[in-house]
Structures are given as structure tokens and as C-alpha cells.
Amino acid sequence: MISGWCNYFLPILSAVLLILCFPKPDVGWLAWVALVPLLRFLFGPRTWRLAFGTAYAAGCLFYGGLLYWIYFTCRAGGVSPLFSFLAWAALSALLALDWGIFGAGVFFFKQELFVLLLRLQSTWALFWRGVAFAAIPFFLAALWTSLEFIKARFLWRFPWELLGYSQWRYPLILQMASVTGVYGLTFLIVWINAAVTVISFGLSGSRKVWAAVGGAPLVCLILCWMYGFAKLSGAPSDFGPGGVSVAILQPNIFQYQKWTPSFEKEIQDTLKALSVEAAGKGAKLVVWPESSVPGLFEDPPLHRWVKEVVRRTHTDHLIGAVTRISGKTQNAAFLVLSRSPGSVIHWAAKRQLVPFGEYVPFKFILERWIPVLNELGAISPGGSPGLIPSRAGTLGVSICYESIFPHLASGLVRKGADVLVNLTNDGWYLDTAGPYQHFSMNVLRAVENRRFLLRSANTGISAVIDPWGRISSQTALGQKSVLSFSLPRENVPEASLYTRFGDWFGYFCILACVSYFLLNMKWT
């Protein structure tokens, strides 16, 4: 009885280990074994309901620990403790559904495996045992990856810290993302975990079968390391002269002073001083963070101030600001030219909005209890891709939350973006793990598309990330600074396979799962 109850701690252990994989504390290598306790438990239940319920509970624990900062963000935004807790708990419960579905999927895979083994009575039994045992880890990896992909593209649209993001600090293994996107990393991690789990049971009693189970994912892991080594060995460390000087501003304005009239002059002085400093370093393009203008971009006093900053610095500025130019309140980026101060050549509005930060889902039910955290009220989405021609090439602009969607960044590069730019205001998250988690996902966008990524964050973390996921320079959280970088025009790699073919690997995983179930229906 004691050992039986102790088994229920295995899913809890997996949830805790996975929390530790992400910022903070960011121990990413744990991901390669973190799912083993959960999988060992899921090979035991006699009903799919128990498998679903236990995995779902572990998922709630994982997302609750990963997204703890939701509570503090809501509280700082004026939401009551009760509804701050409910928002945190409800989001965790929603996102955990894929864990529950995965748990039920493991149960059915296990059932079919044992039925198949009972049927293997021929002289080829050992061979088919190897095939059966080797197939189970593969299909479990496909199932987990499919659920992540569906969640990111079609359902909740909150793909925060997918499993593959845990490897953002490891450039060797990270390079495979240029082929498969982040979903390939997720697949490989689950495949290794599932293979270790199957081998640990020793159900077959045959070393040859164990070799069949562990051989394929191990070979794939080695090939990915070799691919990463080859790509990094060929990646230039010095891009040479002739680049375009770019400066990234991090003004470090406290979130709840940004829209307070009494702080407007102080904010303007800070941004002007940083812009002058950037111009003094020779910047040809100055990048401001999201919604950095303390009001509407087109308000006459603020627009005159922007024109004065541009005139004083004699350089172009990419400015994050809120606007009502289109008749709707939008979160946007404006390129203001130095040759005609105040003249906006291009602008792009944010397309993927933050739930509860910029709009309230199920507004007719929830708006009474949970307000929009943005001081300017509900935001409307933009309708066109964020492509802005500049001196540094065509900029593919994402604003804040948009940077966690792989398909949005690849779409920008596919349409001609030479450089990816992320304007964000992570001041919402205060001094929690939120800014670090958000930053980590940007590294994958650079690798996936083989493009430089410039990130300007109000309170941090601002950075320059090269096409191989190496952080050329970055700021600390809560630091006021100017980050200067010479953006190369040469030696930049061609668009990646992921950019050209998009989320092919996610669809492949769905196809693999569907094929398995269709074939299983045919056999039975």
C-alpha cells in the first residue's frame, strides 16, 4: 500500500523537475530525464481516467509553478487577490489539458503494446518485439509534440515555454531548430525520456530489444549534435566592417508610471538622453521598446517631442507607441526618418494580443470581474505583417507577446525580413521569472530563421542575438542603458529550412499520431 501511494509522487516529481528546466533556475539539461517519473507512472494505471487525471494534476502543478508570476502581475495591475489567484489557476488548468490528454494517450499506447506482444508467437517474435518497443517512444514523442503544436497554432494560442525552449542555453543541440523549429527539440526530448522509461521497465528481457528502443533516439541525438557542431564551426565570430550601427534603448521606466501625467516629463527626458547617447555612438537606427511614448503617438505635444528627438539626433528611430491613427486603439511600431523629422515612412500594429493584458477573452462574462490590465483599455489587433524597410534592411517587427509564436517570425522572414526585431515591455512581470522566460524564447526565433534578432525591452532584458542563437550582447533586468551593435550586411546565412517550409514537423507529428490510430483500428 505504501509503495502504491508513493507512485503518485512520480508525476509530481516530473512537474517539479520540468519547472526547474526553465528560467529561473534554468537547469535545462534536466529536461532529458524529467519526464521519466511521469511516464513510469503512466505505464501502471488500469483505467484511462486515472491516467488522464493524474497527468492533468501534474500539468496543473507544472504550469502553476512556471507561471506563478501571473498572480503578481494581476495584483500589480489592480486586480483583487481572489481574481488574481483565479486567473493564475484558470490559465494553469487550461494549459494542463494537454498533459491529461497525453496521459490518456500513454495508457492506450501501453494497452496496444501488451496486446501486440501477446500475439507475437512466431519465430520473428523477437524482431517484432523490438519494433513494437522501439515504436512506442517514437509515437509518444509525436503525441506530446502534436499537442504542443495544436496548442500553439489552433487552440489556446499561449505557447509559453514549450518543452524545447528548455534548451535555449545549449547552442549545439539548438541548431536543429533551423530545420524543425522548436517542435523538433520537444520531440527529441520526449523521445529520449520515453526510451529511457521503456528500457527501465525491462519488460522484454532482451538486450537486443533494449538496443532497438534506445538506439534510434540516441543516434538521432548524436546526429543533431554533429549538425550543431558543423553549423557553429562554420558560423563567423567576426562579421567584419561595413555593418550598420544600431542602438537599442532600455529606459527602465516603471510600468505603473508610464501613463501617469506627473511622470511624463521625466520619461521624455530619459528617452531623449538615451537617444542622444545612442547618436553619439554613431547609430544609424535607434530602436525603442514597446509603448515607450507616454501617450498616444499622434497627440500633438508628444508628436512634436518625437520630432525634436529625431531632429536632435540626426538618425532614424523605430519607436514603439500606442496609436488611434486607424480609428482603433493599437499597439504599434513606427519608423521615423531623420531626413524628414516627424515623417513616418512605415508603421505596423501588433497582431497577436495578450489575453487580459490587452483584451479580455469572453468579454461579456469576465469584463465585470477582470479588467484589461493595460491603462489605455482594450487594444485592437493589426491586420498586416510587421515588415518595415530601414537602413538596416527590412525589419520583421514583433511586439511583445508575438515573439513566442514561431510561425509569426518565420512568416516575416519568408516575406522578406532581413532582421527580426522584438519590441517589448516586460515591466508587467516586475522582478519575477517572467522577463527571463520571455527572453529565452527569442533565442529560438533567431536560430529557427537564421536571422539576427534585436530586442528592445523597457525594463530588460534587451539583447542582440545572432543567427546561431549566440547572445552577442545583452542588458541586465532593471538597468537603464543603451546597447550598441554593428549589424552586418555580409556573412548572414540564407533563410533556413524551417523558414522555407514552416511548421512541417508539427504537421508530421500529427500525421504520425493519426496514422497510428487508423492503422490500429484496421488491425483490430
Active-site residue numbers?
290, 350, 400
Dump the DSSP string for 250-319. E----GGGTT-GGGHHHHHHHHHHHHHHHHHTT-SEEE--TT-SSSBTTSHHHHHHHHHHHHHHTSEEEE
CA dist list (Å): 370 to 53, 81, 377: 29, 11, 12
CA dist list (Å): 329 to 268, 323, 349, 515: 22, 6, 10, 46
Q: Which residues sit opposite 389 in a β-bridge?
A: 394
Alpha carbon of residue 414 to chain centroid: 19
Q: Which residues sit opposite 287 in a β-bridge?
A: 248, 318
* Cα–Cα distance, 354 to 318 (Å, whole number): 22
**Pairing outcome for strands 463-465 and 481-487:** unpaired
What angle do the packed helices 207-233 and 182-201 form, to 10 degrees? Answer: 150
Look up residue 317 and give its amino acid. H
Give me 306's grid cell: 518625437
* Cα–Cα distance, 232 to 228 (Å, whole number): 6
3 state DSSP class of 336: strand
Where are any strands of DSSP class E within 403-446? Answer: 419-424
CB 290 within 8 A of CB 424: yes
Match 529536461 to its residue by C-alpha cell: 31
Look up residue 466 and give its amino acid. D
Give me 362's grid cell: 469572453
* Cα–Cα distance, 354 to 481 (Å, whole number): 27
Cα-Cα-Cα-Cα torsion 291, 292, 294, 296, nearest 10 degrees, comes to: -40
Give me 479's grid cell: 538597468
Neighbour-count burial for 398-420, b at 16+ CB within 10 Å, e otherwise:
bbbbbbbbbbbbbbbbbeebbbb
CB 45 within 8 A of CB 24: no
